[in-house]
Structure 1
Amino acid sequence: MNTSSPAPRALRIVLIGYRGSGKTSVARPLAEKLGAPWFDADQELQRTAGKTIAQIFADDGEPAFRHLEEAAITRLLQHDPPLVLALGGGAVMRESTRQRLREAALVVWLKASAGRLYERITADAATQANRPPLTAHGGLAEIEQLLAQREPIYQAVSHFAVDAEDRTPSEIADAIFARLPAAAGESRQP
């Protein structure tokens, strides 16, 4: 176990979780608390690709999207700390990306129920327009199916989880900030 505890300002903090968990909304207030820049990996990917995520999926398929996503994350993790980075919901699906995260950042999982995620996703027109369905089911059934696959991965990659169910982005940022000194010295369980 690592007993030294670097100050929160020396951290790269990566926010993971399912689409609609609030990663981008939380990144801004958390970065303000840290006096750090923040980035959204999906926005960076779309900027460099010159396409929306939905267009990338339609034109090139999911494997090509995951390759572009990993490249964007790799570039963003090269920024000197402090840094707050919000990832797409499926960014942790590649082992090579998970390895990069483990080596370079403190990873925080924003956790919410399938029902809450569904409410948030359907209320956000930008999410509907820019993000493709990921299964044949769509809707709540898709969220439940993908959460069943992804939650064990989110848990394994993260240093800790924060309940994002019924909190505002600012409240979630406060909860993360309160855990940073302790979490910086924690080691991940094998």
Structure 2
Amino acid sequence: MAEIQSVAEEGSTDVGVRLRAARAKVGMTRRQLATASGMSERYLAHIEAGTGNPTVAVLEALAGALDMAPAELLPLGGERSEARAAAAATLRRLPESRLGPLLDQMAQLGGANSSKGRRIVLLGMRGAGKSSLGKALALRLRVPFLEMSKEVEIAYGGEMRLLIELGGQSALRRYEHEAWETLIAEHESAVIATPGGIAADPVLFDRLLATAHSIWLEASPDDHMQRVMAQGDFRPMASNRGAMEDLKAILQARASEYARAEAQLDTSAQDFEGTVDRLEQMARRLIA
């Protein structure tokens, strides 16, 4: 009996860890997740601490609010081995309409550089400098500068904030997918700044890396915070006393995805002009 209880407690702890990581990856506070899932914030705290015992219905509600499969909150995705879990996770990333031509799609996602054209996509958290550096880079390369978030707002006909509040994460992802396909169809050459949360959408992120040359712009947590405050933008950290802790958790949760970029640039290591110089050098090597 003690052994069974120990296994159950270990599973609950693992679910809590996965839930915290998933919440951090999309940049949601615990309060925001509680509202979106219909759970109490106190109950979520227990689950994340490993002391709660969520039912299947609870996991489904949480996964729905995070726009992910419920199995992804379970150890090994509910599978019996790591290999099966990895295979199942890959399949879950693909929409139903693309499961048929699976081999062709995998070849497309891992396609050659020729499909990337002369597009440069900038990845990273808000405050990394994607907009300011992206505009400067586009001028030097003499190509258009585009912001994916603005393209989403144009397609939606309203602010991103309203899209998320009214449609949730699933609606946001749908518009982001459509916006990206429009961007790459209309622009062979461009510098494109992406939302920080795009790393939380595996299918879109794979597609993005396959169809554009990617550079991860990173900065120290302090610089991220100061730049966001200077912009007056506190969307993922509103009314949260642990803003810095949340920021660090989000950075940690997304780092492994951002690190898949072809190049990486620390925007805290030098002044603005020096950063633009280094960014231009990286970009020109990638599109050569």
TM range (shorter): 0.7 to 0.9
CA distance in 2, matches of 1:135, 1:79: 40
Give percent identity, aligned residues only.
25
The TM-score with structure 1 as length reference comes to: 0.81
User: For the structure 1 residues 183 and 140, does the alpha-carbon distance in structure 2 shift closer, same or farther, using more than 3 Å as the test?
Assistant: same
* 1:1-190 map, 5 Å: 11-125=118-232, 127-128=233-234, 131-133=235-237, 139-156=243-260, 158-184=261-287
CA distance in 2, matches of 1:169, 1:50: 33
Aligned-partner SS, 2:196? coil
CA distance in 1, matches of 2:165, 2:226: 25
User: For the structure 1 residues 123 and 65, does the alpha-carbon distance in structure 2 shift closer, same or farther, using more than 3 Å as the test?
Assistant: same
Give the conservation status (yes or no) of the 8 Å contact 2:120–2:283: no
Give the conservation status (yes or no) of the 8 Å contact 2:131–2:147: yes
User: For the structure 1 residues 76 and 137, does the alpha-carbon distance in structure 2 shift closer, same or farther, using more than 3 Å as the test?
Assistant: farther
Task: Report the aligned-residue RMSD.
Answer: 2.4
CA distance in 2, matches of 1:146, 1:152: 11
Partner AA of 2:166 in structure 1: D
CA distance in 2, matches of 1:63, 1:134: 22
User: For the structure 1 residues 85 and 169, does the alpha-carbon distance in structure 2 shift closer, same or farther, using more than 3 Å as the test?
Assistant: farther
User: For the structure 1 residues 135 and 113, does the alpha-carbon distance in structure 2 shift closer, same or farther, using more than 3 Å as the test?
Assistant: farther
Deviation at 1:172, TM superposition (A): 2.5
> Which is greater in Rg?
2
Once the two structures are superposed, residues 114-167 of structure 1 have per-residue CA deviations (whole angstroms, 9 ceiling, x without a partner) of: 121111111212x33xx44499776212211111110110002x1010111154
Flag structure 1 segments of 5+ consecutive residues without an equivalent: 186-190
Partner AA of 1:162 in structure 2: L
User: For the structure 1 residues 135 and 75, does the alpha-carbon distance in structure 2 shift closer, same or farther, using more than 3 Å as the test?
Assistant: farther
CA distance in 2, matches of 1:99, 1:115: 29
Deviation at 1:33, TM superposition (A): 0.8
Task: Identify, as 1 or 2, the structure richer in helix.
Answer: 2
Partner AA of 1:45 in structure 2: V
Once the two structures are superposed, residues 12-47 of structure 1 have per-residue CA deviations (whole angstroms, 9 ceiling, x without a partner) of: 000000111110111111111111011000111112
Flag structure 2 segments of 5+ consecutive residues without an equivalent: 1-112
Aligned-partner SS, 2:214? strand
The TM-score with structure 2 as length reference comes to: 0.55
Q: How many residues align?
A: 174
Partner AA of 2:197 in structure 1: G
Aligned-partner SS, 1:77? helix
CA distance in 2, matches of 1:135, 1:63: 24
CA distance in 2, matches of 1:36, 1:20: 23
CA distance in 2, matches of 1:116, 1:109: 16
CA distance in 1, matches of 2:238, 2:197: 10
